[in-house]
Amino acid sequence: MVSESRLAGDAKAAARAAEDARLKEACAGFEAIMLQTMLKGMRQTLPGDGIFGQGQAEEIWQSRLDQELAERISKGGNSPGLRDFLYRQLSRSGGDG
Protein backbone atom coordinates (compact mmCIF):
# COMPACT_ATOMS: atom_id res chain seq x y z
CA MET A 1 0.00 0.00 0.00
CA VAL A 2 1.21 3.49 -0.83
CA SER A 3 1.63 5.87 2.09
CA GLU A 4 0.24 9.38 2.16
CA SER A 5 3.70 10.86 2.58
CA ARG A 6 4.93 9.09 -0.55
CA LEU A 7 1.93 10.35 -2.51
CA ALA A 8 2.56 13.87 -1.24
CA GLY A 9 6.23 13.58 -2.22
CA ASP A 10 5.29 12.34 -5.68
CA ALA A 11 2.84 15.22 -6.09
CA LYS A 12 5.50 17.75 -5.06
CA ALA A 13 8.00 16.20 -7.49
CA ALA A 14 5.46 16.37 -10.32
CA ALA A 15 4.68 20.00 -9.49
CA ARG A 16 8.41 20.83 -9.44
CA ALA A 17 8.90 19.14 -12.81
CA ALA A 18 6.00 21.09 -14.33
CA GLU A 19 7.33 24.35 -12.87
CA ASP A 20 10.80 23.52 -14.18
CA ALA A 21 9.43 22.93 -17.68
CA ARG A 22 7.57 26.27 -17.60
CA LEU A 23 10.71 28.06 -16.44
CA LYS A 24 12.78 26.51 -19.24
CA GLU A 25 10.16 27.53 -21.80
CA ALA A 26 10.04 31.09 -20.44
CA CYS A 27 13.84 31.38 -20.54
CA ALA A 28 13.93 30.13 -24.14
CA GLY A 29 11.20 32.61 -25.07
CA PHE A 30 13.11 35.48 -23.46
CA GLU A 31 16.25 34.47 -25.32
CA ALA A 32 14.32 34.44 -28.61
CA ILE A 33 12.97 37.94 -27.92
CA MET A 34 16.46 39.22 -27.15
CA LEU A 35 17.81 37.63 -30.34
CA GLN A 36 14.98 39.13 -32.39
CA THR A 37 15.75 42.57 -30.98
CA MET A 38 19.43 42.10 -31.78
CA LEU A 39 18.67 40.96 -35.35
CA LYS A 40 16.37 43.94 -35.89
CA GLY A 41 19.07 46.30 -34.64
CA MET A 42 21.69 44.76 -36.89
CA ARG A 43 19.33 44.91 -39.87
CA GLN A 44 18.76 48.64 -39.28
CA THR A 45 22.46 49.28 -39.92
CA LEU A 46 22.16 47.94 -43.49
CA PRO A 47 21.42 50.16 -46.48
CA GLY A 48 17.70 50.33 -47.26
CA ASP A 49 17.54 48.72 -50.69
CA GLY A 50 15.44 45.69 -49.81
CA ILE A 51 13.77 43.42 -52.33
CA PHE A 52 10.32 44.83 -51.56
CA GLY A 53 11.30 48.47 -51.50
CA GLN A 54 10.97 50.28 -48.22
CA GLY A 55 7.28 49.93 -47.63
CA GLN A 56 5.12 48.35 -45.01
CA ALA A 57 5.27 44.96 -46.72
CA GLU A 58 9.03 44.81 -46.29
CA GLU A 59 8.80 45.83 -42.63
CA ILE A 60 6.28 43.07 -41.95
CA TRP A 61 8.31 40.49 -43.85
CA GLN A 62 11.59 41.47 -42.15
CA SER A 63 9.96 41.41 -38.72
CA ARG A 64 8.58 37.92 -39.32
CA LEU A 65 11.94 36.75 -40.69
CA ASP A 66 13.76 38.10 -37.63
CA GLN A 67 11.25 36.38 -35.34
CA GLU A 68 11.65 33.04 -37.11
CA LEU A 69 15.45 33.27 -37.15
CA ALA A 70 15.52 34.15 -33.45
CA GLU A 71 13.30 31.18 -32.55
CA ARG A 72 15.40 28.78 -34.61
CA ILE A 73 18.67 30.05 -33.16
CA SER A 74 17.28 29.79 -29.64
CA LYS A 75 15.96 26.25 -30.14
CA GLY A 76 18.97 25.03 -32.10
CA GLY A 77 22.34 23.83 -30.93
CA ASN A 78 23.97 27.21 -31.59
CA SER A 79 22.08 29.09 -28.92
CA PRO A 80 24.15 31.87 -27.35
CA GLY A 81 23.39 30.42 -23.92
CA LEU A 82 21.28 33.21 -22.46
CA ARG A 83 18.41 30.82 -21.74
CA ASP A 84 20.73 28.46 -19.84
CA PHE A 85 22.18 31.32 -17.81
CA LEU A 86 18.71 32.67 -16.97
CA TYR A 87 17.45 29.20 -16.09
CA ARG A 88 20.34 28.58 -13.68
CA GLN A 89 19.87 31.96 -12.01
CA LEU A 90 16.10 31.77 -11.73
CA SER A 91 15.96 28.14 -10.63
CA ARG A 92 18.42 28.96 -7.82
CA SER A 93 16.49 31.99 -6.65
CA GLY A 94 13.04 30.41 -6.98
CA GLY A 95 13.66 27.34 -4.84
CA ASP A 96 11.48 28.52 -1.96
CA GLY A 97 8.37 28.93 -4.14
**Domain presence at residue 6:** no
pLDDT of residue 1 exceeding 60, the answer is no
Cα(26)–Cα(32) distance, integer angstroms: 10
Range of the domain at 92: 20-42+53-97
Report the 3 state secondary structure along 6-20.
HHHHHHHHHHHHHHH
- Does position 78 have pLDDT exceeding 90, yes or no? no
Burial zone of 70 (CB within 10 Å; 0-12 exposed, 13-18 middle, 19+ buried): buried
Tell me if 47 is assigned to some domain.
no
Q: How many domains does the chain have?
A: 1
pLDDT digit string (tens) for 50-63? 565 678 888 888 89
The answer to whether position 25 is within a domain reads yes
Of residues 47 and 68, the one with the higher pLDDT is: 68
In a domain, 81, yes or no: yes
For residue 78, tell me if it sits in a domain. yes
CA-only gyration radius of the chain, Å: 20
